[in-house]
Amino acid sequence: MSNKKKSNAPAAAGGAKPAKLDAAAAAIPEIRPGQSIELLKELHILTRDGKLNQDSRRKLKQVYHLYQFIEPLLQEIRSRHPDVSLVDHGAGKSYLGFILYDLFFKSLEGASRIYGIETREELVQKSTELAKRLGFPGMSFLNLSVADSIESGFLPPQIDVVTALHACDTATDDAIHFALKKHAQFIVLVPCCQAEVASVLNRNKGKSMANSLTEIWRHPLHTREFGSQLTNVLRCLQLEAHGYQVSVTELVGWEHSMKNELIIARYKDLPRKRPTERLQEVLQSLGLAEMGERFFTALSPSAAP
């Protein structure tokens, strides 16, 4: 993710009505009724002539696989109040946001909205133009880093759902920080490129050699792999230490990245003491005490997100 920082006001989309399911597409059983054919073409799920080949059929299955995890969360929010807000961090081409809007949000009335956060201005502009062309008025795009979005006045004080699909390295932690500050009911993460913990493990390796557990990450390849897994373990403990119920599963068949661990957190106001203690124990025992500020908890002095 780029460090470029520039903030623009949300670009509300509006324009032509979504493309209807034409007769040709209706003959493809995998496509759900009412889906935007133009969007599926833009995402290269359908070919330009509206066909679904073997590769695009696999992509469509991946889309539905991800959607099946998120859609029940959106329905649960809807059962509590009519308007749903979702922020997608590290949105890129806003692949996830557009699919969620097409399958769920476009049928809603009221002020439900998806915000896409992305540092690359050209992608923000393209997404804004596509939303306008498709007639998706409830989509906005912001040219911000994940970290900068935490304090941005262009976003509401509370967000229902926060997603971060392959937000690189510490951008996932920034997305968690954002979600905690915005009191998100649900957090959906597919972490990517986790190097920070591995770097600290490697730097402190000499000090830790007396501990036989250091053998787990003594070799550079193991340092990288162990650091990646440990990062997600720490994230889960951090979320639990803020009262969330956390589940971890695999995003099967997601070919865009080898990183396909799916973390879903649901705010339940659960007890915080035990996961906080566990998190601190892990940091101390593995020589990661300096990362306490990164993985702050609800009971720590730096907890005010």
Question: Average pLDDT for residues 56-65, to the nearest whole number?
Answer: 79
Percent of the chain at pLDDT exceeding 90: 59
Instruction: Establish how many alpha carbons lie within 13 A of residue 209's alpha carbon, considering only the half-sphere containing its beta carbon.
Output: 6
Q: What is the pLDDT of residues 146-159, one digit of tens each?
A: 889 999 999 999 99
182 burial type by CB count under 10 A (0-12 exposed, 13-18 middle, 19+ buried) = buried
Residue 35 and residue 52 in contact, taking contact as beta carbons nearer than 8 Å? no
Name residues whose C-beta falls within 8 Å of residue 270's C-beta, 6 or more positions apart in sequence.
240, 243, 244, 245
Convert 68-82 to b/e letters by CB count within 10 Å (16 or more is b): eebeebbeebeeeee
pLDDT, position 1: 44
The better pLDDT of the pair 107, 9 is held by: 107
Query: DSSP assignment of 134-198, as one string?
Result: HT-TTEEEEE--HHHHTT-TTS-S--SEEEEEEEETHHHHHHHHHHHHTT-SEEEEEEE---HHH
pLDDT, position 178: 96
In this prediction, residue 22 has a pLDDT band, given cuts at 50, 70 and 90, of low
pLDDT, position 167: 74
Strand pairing of 161-168 and 113-118? unpaired
Instruction: Map residue 218 onto helix, strand or coil.
Output: coil
pLDDT, position 32: 82
Dihedral sign from CA coordinates of 35, 41, 45, 46: positive
The tokens of 301 are what? 């002095």
Residue 112 and residue 84 in contact, taking contact as beta carbons nearer than 8 Å? yes
Strand pairing of 139-143 and 113-118? parallel
Residue with tokens 């998100």: 184
Residue 64 and residue 99 in contact, taking contact as beta carbons nearer than 8 Å? no
Q: What is the mean pLDDT of the chain?
A: 85
Neighbours of 207 (CB within 10 A): 10
pLDDT of 79 higher than 50: yes
* Domains of the chain (ranges, CATH numbers): 57-291 (3.40.50.150)
pLDDT of 300 higher than 90: no
The tokens of 74 are what? 């959106």
pLDDT, position 289: 92
Question: Average pLDDT for residues 169-196, to the nearest whole number?
Answer: 91
List the single range of 225-229, 245-249, 297-301 with lowest mean pLDDT. Answer: 297-301
pLDDT, position 214: 87
pLDDT, position 168: 79
| Range among 7-21, 229-243, 253-267 rated most confident | 229-243
In this prediction, residue 302 has a pLDDT band, given cuts at 50, 70 and 90, of low
pLDDT of 23 higher than 80: no
Segments of 158-260 assigned E as strands: 161-168, 186-192, 244-250
List the single range of 23-37, 43-57, 184-198, 253-267 with lowest mean pLDDT. Answer: 23-37
pLDDT, position 54: 79
List the single range of 21-25, 33-37, 55-59, 60-64 with lowest mean pLDDT. Answer: 21-25
pLDDT of 26 higher than 80: no
pLDDT of 77 higher than 50: yes
pLDDT, position 114: 98
Percent of the chain at pLDDT exceeding 70: 86
- Distance from C-alpha of 253 to C-alpha of 39, rounded to nearest angstrom: 21
Residue 130 and residue 162 in contact, taking contact as beta carbons nearer than 8 Å? no
Dihedral sign from CA coordinates of 166, 170, 173, 174: negative
- Distance from C-alpha of 132 to C-alpha of 105, rounded to nearest angstrom: 15
- Distance from C-alpha of 36 to C-alpha of 19, rounded to nearest angstrom: 5
